[in-house]
Amino acid sequence: MRVAVYYAPLLSDPLWKLGSRWLGRDAETGASVAQPDVPGIAEITADARHYGFHATLKPPMRLQPGVTWDAIVTGADDIARTTAPFDLPPIAIGDLGGFLAIVTPDAGSALTAFCDAWVRGMDGFRAPPSEAELAKRRSSRLSARQNELLERWGYPYVFDAWFFHMTLTQRLTLEQQAVFRPAIDALFGPTLAAPRRVSDVCLYTQEHDAAPFLLAERLPLRG
């Protein structure tokens, strides 16, 4: 099993329903959701659909031997109960090297500190990555700093290399962007402008490598 700590919109937030619809799967129920009628959408959302609608805080991690689910939940709740809710910075659709995603143009100190706390606080549960996993990450031409983070934290995009994003597509060609960017803008539209409060954190789980990630637990922030 792998476990990840993610931000996800509240279930009452229209953004959760729209994100699940765009990806074609509700990560809380595991149910398939009818996607917008855009040719090719199932293919360009396949990877994002596998992980579920989210923004990564603590990346998916395999667990140290003997670590139980109860221990994971208790450890996460220890962080959540000392963390105060805060406002999510404004979000928008962005282009991340060809990947379309919901991003924060300015993450702000509260959100950055929030993410950093989860990376550090949950690291004791993480098993070291295998050589194959390290090689796969390094194939992305990491910088020296990203490689340093990979070796220490098991993931190259944490701390100063982290950025908030909720992935919506695979890497697209310019021709594909001309089709899918207008469809994304039309679907999400004014929903992105609504103010949002980060008031909980989500634990997602993956039963085995081929299984989709599921939202297993929401922990309220109570600091």
pLDDT in tens, 65-110: 999 999 999 999 999 999 999 999 999 999 999 999 999 999 899 9
140: confidence class by pLDDT, cuts 50, 70, 90: confident
56: confidence class by pLDDT, cuts 50, 70, 90: very high
**Dihedral through CA 221, CA 216, CA 70, CA 199, nearest 10?**
0
- Mean pLDDT (the chain) is 96
Q: Is residue 51 within a helix (H) or strand (E), and if so which, with residue range?
A: helix 46-51
Residue 148 and residue 99: Cα distance in Å, rounded?
24
Domains of the chain: residue spans and CATH: 2-129+157-220 (3.90.1140.10)
Residue 12 has pLDDT above 90, yes or no: yes
Please give the share of the chain, as a percent, with pLDDT higher than 90.
95
Tell me phi and psi for residue 110, to 5 degrees. -65, -45
Question: Taking residues 116-140, what's their average pLDDT?
Answer: 94
- Please answer whether residues 78 and 63 qualify as being in contact, where contact means their C-beta atoms are separated by less than 8 angstroms: no
Pairing type for strands 55-62 and 2-7 reads antiparallel
Residues belonging to the chain? 223
Tell me phi and psi for residue 208, to 5 degrees. -155, 175
- Please answer whether residues 112 and 104 qualify as being in contact, where contact means their C-beta atoms are separated by less than 8 angstroms: no
Residue 150 has pLDDT above 90, yes or no: yes
Given this model, what pLDDT does residue 156 score? 95
Strand partners, 3: 61, 205
Residue 51 and residue 53: Cα distance in Å, rounded?
7
Residue 141 has pLDDT above 90, yes or no: no
Furthest C-alpha separation in the chain: 49
Question: Taking residues 46-63, what's their average pLDDT?
Answer: 97
Given this model, what pLDDT does residue 69 score? 97
